Structures are given as structure tokens and as C-alpha cells.
Amino acid sequence: LQAENAQAAVVAVAIVTGLALWLVGLRRGRVFGIAGLILLYFGVNTGFSLYMKFILSDKEVSQELGLQGVPAAFLITAIQQVESFIAFGVVIAALWPTSWRYAPRPMRSWNTVCTLLFFSLSFSANIGLNNLSISLLPVSLNLTIRSCLPLVTLAVQVLFRRIQFAAGEVGPMASIVYPSAAEASP
């Protein structure tokens, strides 16, 4: 129980500090705001990962059978997706009579429809597989794997020739790729 309290304290400190820096950044400068947003992102992301680990692995399901953890990562993902869809619908309905009305752009081609469907499926698969890996792996390994996402994204972009490097772009690109590669190395 002490480990969970320490983890929760670290997440809470990151979120509160990030929020404070972001609020300072609104008045004092962009650097504080960016630092605050990064802290908020990592605090909330780590908090969600720890929460899902608790639900999927540590929660006692049946004392009689000695079962721990919910063995349904994809079911929980589906429930989360439905809840998000309902929440998004409520927000759209609430904003409809205001000047902040959400008006999606019409999809004018099958290419756009297919791209949207592919993105939706890959997004849902990403969350589902992440929940599955959280239930099977330690949180530290899960977060290490997820931190390599920029490296994989870069490799896919290069593979499909969406990105081509000029001589002056290698340095800034290395500053993005190096942390992920360093995190992944033993």
C-alpha cells in the first residue's frame, strides 16, 4: 500500500506542478506554459497507466476463487470508448446553441472516409493493446515501450517517404529520436 501511495503522490505532484506552471505561463511566458503542459501530460499519462494497472492486475475480483485483476483489457477498452463517445455527444449537444458550436467538415471523398476509419481503428487498437500490455507487463516496461512511439512514427514516415532529410535537419531530428532510443536500450 505504501508503494501505491508513493506513486499516487508523484503523479499528484506532477499534475499540480504542471497546472501551476501552465497558469504562470499564461501570464509570464511561453516557456513556463510549455513546461507545465509537459508535466501535466506526463502526470496524467502516468496516472492513467497506474490506474489501469491497478484495475487490470491488482484489483481483487473473487476472494473465494483467489482471482485478482480484471482479465478483460479489450472489454474495458470498449467500455472506455463508449463512455468517451457519450461524453463527446453531451459536449456537442451542450455547445450546439452557443457560439462554440462544433461543426465537422464534410467528408467529400472515399479516400477521406477510409483514412478516418483507418485512423479510428488504429487509435482504438492502440488503446486496447496498451491496456492488454499493462495487464501483462510492469508499468515501467509499458511506459518504456510507449516512449519509443516517436521512433516508430519516424521510421514509418521515412518508410513511406513522407519525410526526407536535408543535411541541416539531421541534428534536430536526432534530438527527437535519441531520448526514445536511449530509453529503449538496456
pLDDT for residue 1: 59
154 and 127 Cβ atoms separated by less than 8 Å: no
pLDDT for residue 184: 53
Cα atoms in the 13 Å half-sphere on the side-chain side of 175: 4
Sign of the C-alpha dihedral, residues 32, 38, 44, 47?
negative
As a whole number, the mean pLDDT across the chain is 79
- Reported as a single tens digit per residue, the pLDDT across 69-124 is 777 777 888 888 899 899 999 999 999 999 988 888 888 999 989 988 998 888 88
Q: Please give the share of the chain, as a percent, with pLDDT higher than 70.
A: 82
Better pLDDT: 37 or 65: 37
Quote the pTM value: 0.60
